[in-house]
Structure 1
Amino acid sequence: MSIQPADVRPSHSTTGFILTIVAIALAMAASTASSPFYPQIQDALHLDIVQITLVFAVYPAGLLATLLVAGSLCDHLGRRPVAFAGLLMLAVSLALFAWGDSLGILLVARILQGIATALVVATVSTYMAELAPPALAGHVALANAAGPAAGLAIGAVFGGIMLDLASPALTPTFSVMIVLIVVIAALVWLLPEVALRRPGVVGSLLPRLRVPRAAAPTLLRVTPAIIASWGTGGLFISLGAHIAAEVFEAQSHTLQGATVGILAASATAATIALWRWSSRTLLIIGALALAAGTLASIVAVLTASALGYFAIIVVIGVGFGLSYAGSLRLVLPHVAREDRAGLFSVIYVIAYLSFSVPAVIAGALISLIGLIPAIIGYGVLVSAFALVALVALLVQRPGAARAQDAPEPSRVVG
């Protein structure tokens, strides 16, 4: 039996839809705002490359653990309270990071940020779909692809600019973000609750991953593309500033942050500009751009061509954005409304494992074999997954491809 709170009312809200996009973009911006600060934090706290990579990596670890045990929490407690609690927890984690003065505090802050981000993205992604008015229902997958990418770009560039303008910059940068997050949390609390609460909240905390049967074949097919795209994001967010500083001797923090900013901005632009193309076309272009761009970036690193490297990041960003957007476009139409939260949790688990595990391995390898060989190995791995995704798409029978791509974005279930 479903338990419906008194204030639940089926509601479509353009304002709410936009607010949820802002909320998820802000959560992702918070995850990259720290990226330009990693070299500075490493020097200030006398950390080695493995330790600073660990600070990056415990964030997705906390996020993944939360998705496993609480990915469907909003199905039982409601969208609004879980989103509100996640945003407030995110603000607390940023405060710990900004004022932390030891490796232990930074690790706690990043774990807490991962937990908070998981609650926000899993809940808000679902909330967004339910608040979208009929005229905007076809843009839910677009918003879920472009919103996070835009947030990644804004956070990294904002952090870099603040580093160049202010000294010290960490506290004012995160103070601004904390205020914005608290304001968004207050506005989210004013949104209508649109979900039926279900009993069994304690049982829902048992670790599980569940993919609706109708979506499973499609999700399996696009998984290599998700791995390649988010693996690329992990490389740039964890090591982008180091690459710019050490390989290309870029002293500007804004330029160091731009490695992430350019990647995410081009991903956002490509996703929006090409959204009306078929999902299969988006994935093919995305996989090609990821494979070719990543291999070209290795050449740029080996030749120390800064201009070529930053230009290639645009191509890689296009691949990042289109691969993930095309994947969402193919999967979402096969999922009923009540299964969305669980599916988004599974997608984010795949994404963040791809985002974190290779980055941690690369951080460990850097201390053993050096930065450039580790980057080459990482790039080859990403390119391999992109090519697997491309081959899987090209060998698919035309009839099957049309059948999978048949549901237009405007007919997303629910």
Structure 2
Amino acid sequence: MTLSTRGSFWTAAAVAGLALWASGAPTVVYPLYAAEWRVDPAVTTAIFAIYPLVLVPVLIVFGNLSDVIGRRAVILLGIGALAVGSIAFGLAPDLLWVFIGRAFMGLGVGLALSPATAAMVEFGGPDGARRASSTTTAATATGLALATIVGGALVQYAPIPLHLTFWVLTAVTLLVGAFAFALPRHTRDEASGPWRPRLPRMPREERAPFVAGTLGVSAAYAMGAIFLALGAQVARDLVHSDDVFVDGLVLAVSAVVIGVVAIAARGLRPRVAVSVGPVFLAGGLGLLIVAGLAHSLPAFLGASIAAGAGYSLMFSGGLGLVTGSAPVHERAAVISAAYVVAYLFQAAAALGLGAVATSAGLQAALDVGAPAIVLIGVAAVVVANLPGRRAVATNTAAVPTA
């Protein structure tokens, strides 16, 4: 059985959501690792960072693979790696297994995310680019929300809190894999000729939209590093909330807002979304600093809401600019190039914040990291609005489109 065009579109969206569920699955478990194995924030952020550090070389080497052998084949390889990573977390008796599981998750997302995004463009109809951009944002937000809500509930109320959430993720991964197996084997936009490794590439023309979009996605991912790598520890150690389910719900609010804003703002041109996003980024990160200083759960909730809106605008607008600049037969390679840069920013943010948190405390990490991330967002605004480039960045938004 082969899925219809509509079914293929939503299956590709489910793959994107699964990728971010896998990324966020350990978020609420990090404090348990810290307590169980007596590790400091530098180690827990390293667990988070191994994911983008593995993902980046996979994107570099295999970023164009689905342009040649087909989206379905590469998506299935990625889902297989995600399943292995989730099982490793589910069995993990010590940190080594956790790092192995995280590495396989990076491998899986590195293989699956770009072809899933490209597939949504191809199965999205005449307005595939804009539809794929907003749907990718909403799907990944759903994945993050499920990671923190399901994870928080299982950690707080279920047995084997270090492991059960990953067995649930394994089951979901296998279910999505079953649907992905029914995707069409080939699409009309695949390149011809044999595959060979090629570096992810910036488009020869329309480079300003590509750079602006990449910076926008990078700002979103760097901010995600704060919430995913340190959010649960900030809630416990600075906000003084000891209910993991409540903490998971607060973090999930950010993901819900990401999805709602992505749908509500789908009519915005990508350049406009990228230009507005840093305002919300600054507000969210500022409230996160206030939450730590005042030990305030309401401020933490406000930070989650504002940061979610900023992430959504920066990611969906940035992705729209990137995919609008991509030639048809190099779409996955160009998208991979943007993801490479964004995940490098995310890894650097996670490792840097972990080092500062270990040496000077979590509050100091927020004080240092927040302004740096806002600056990345401001750089995206500047490049998107360079004189002589605005028309290019605007007009490509409705062309092809983590």
**TM (normalized to structure 1)?**
0.90
Paired residues for 1:196-211 under 5 Å: 196=190, 198-201=192-195, 203-204=196-197, 208-211=199-202
Question: Cα offset for 1:338?
Answer: 0.8
Match of 1:404 in 2: 393
Match of 1:25 in 2: 17
Greater than 6 Å deviation, 4+ residue runs: none
Question: Cα offset for 1:376?
Answer: 0.7
> Aligned residue pairs: how many?
399
Question: Cα offset for 1:336?
Answer: 2.4
User: Quick check: 1:291–1:384 contact (8 Å CA) kept in 2?
Assistant: no
Q: Which moved more, 1:28-37 or 1:253-262?
A: 253-262
Question: 2:19 is matched by which residue type in structure 1?
Answer: A
Match of 2:280 in 1: 289
Question: Cα offset for 1:148?
Answer: 1.5
Paired residues for 1:169-188 under 5 Å: 169-188=161-180
Choose which of 309, 313, 328 in structure 1 pairs with 2:304: 313
| Secondary structure of 2:39's aligned partner | coil
Choose which of 153, 160, 163 in structure 1 pairs with 2:155: 163
User: Quick check: 2:27–2:228 contact (8 Å CA) kept in 1?
Assistant: yes
| Secondary structure of 1:311's aligned partner | helix
Question: Cα offset for 1:48?
Answer: 2.6
Question: Cα offset for 1:363?
Answer: 0.7
Unaligned 5+ segments in structure 1 are 1-6
User: Quick check: 1:45–1:101 contact (8 Å CA) kept in 2?
Assistant: no
Point out the structure with max Rg over C-alpha.
1
Question: Cα offset for 1:255?
Answer: 2.2
Choose which of 342, 352, 365 in structure 2 pairs with 1:361: 352
Match of 1:389 in 2: 380
C-alpha spacing 1:370/1:408, structure 2 compared with 1 (3 Å): closer
The whole-number CA distance in structure 2 between the counterparts of 1:225 and 1:233 is 12
Question: Cα offset for 1:114?
Answer: 0.3
Question: 1:70 is matched by which residue type in structure 2?
Answer: F
User: Quick check: 2:71–2:185 contact (8 Å CA) kept in 1?
Assistant: yes
Question: 1:388 is matched by which residue type in structure 2?
Answer: A
| Secondary structure of 1:406's aligned partner | helix
Q: Please state if 1:239 is matched with 2:230.
A: yes
Q: Please state if 1:83 is matched with 2:75.
A: yes
C-alpha spacing 1:161/1:41, structure 2 compared with 1 (3 Å): same
Choose which of 132, 138, 141 in structure 2 pairs with 1:149: 141
User: Quick check: 1:33–1:156 contact (8 Å CA) kept in 2?
Assistant: yes
Question: 1:307 is matched by which residue type in structure 2?
Answer: P
Q: Which moved more, 1:29-38 or 1:137-146?
A: 137-146
| Secondary structure of 1:264's aligned partner | helix
Question: 1:92 is matched by which residue type in structure 2?
Answer: V
Question: Cα offset for 1:78?
Answer: 2.0
Q: Which moved more, 1:300-309 or 1:182-191?
A: 300-309
Q: Which moved more, 1:288-297 or 1:347-356?
A: 288-297
The whole-number CA distance in structure 1 between the counterparts of 2:278 and 2:136 is 19
Question: 1:62 is matched by which residue type in structure 2?
Answer: V
The whole-number CA distance in structure 2 between the counterparts of 1:255 and 1:180 is 23
Question: 1:222 is matched by which residue type in structure 2?
Answer: G
CA deviation vs aligned residue, 1:355-403 (integer Å, no higher than 9, x gap): 221111111121211111111101121122223334445x634x64234
Choose which of 371, 374, 388 in structure 2 pairs with 1:380: 371
The whole-number CA distance in structure 2 between the counterparts of 1:286 and 1:318 is 7
**TM (normalized to structure 2)?**
0.92
Question: 2:221 is matched by which residue type in structure 1?
Answer: W
Question: 2:6 is matched by which residue type in structure 1?
Answer: T
Q: Please state if 1:44 is matched with 2:43.
A: no
CA deviation vs aligned residue, 1:307-341 (integer Å, no higher than 9, x gap): 12211221111011101111122232232221111
The whole-number CA distance in structure 2 between the counterparts of 1:249 and 1:46 is 19
Question: 2:8 is matched by which residue type in structure 1?
Answer: G
CA deviation vs aligned residue, 1:190-246 (integer Å, no higher than 9, x gap): 121224474443x31x6x231121242212233432222111001100000000000
The whole-number CA distance in structure 1 between the counterparts of 2:38 and 2:121 is 45
Question: Cα offset for 1:138?
Answer: 4.1
Choose which of 320, 343, 348 in structure 2 pairs with 1:352: 343
Q: Please state if 1:267 is matched with 2:227.
A: no
Question: Cα offset for 1:280?
Answer: 2.5
Give the aligned CA root-mean-square deviation in angstroms. Answer: 2.2
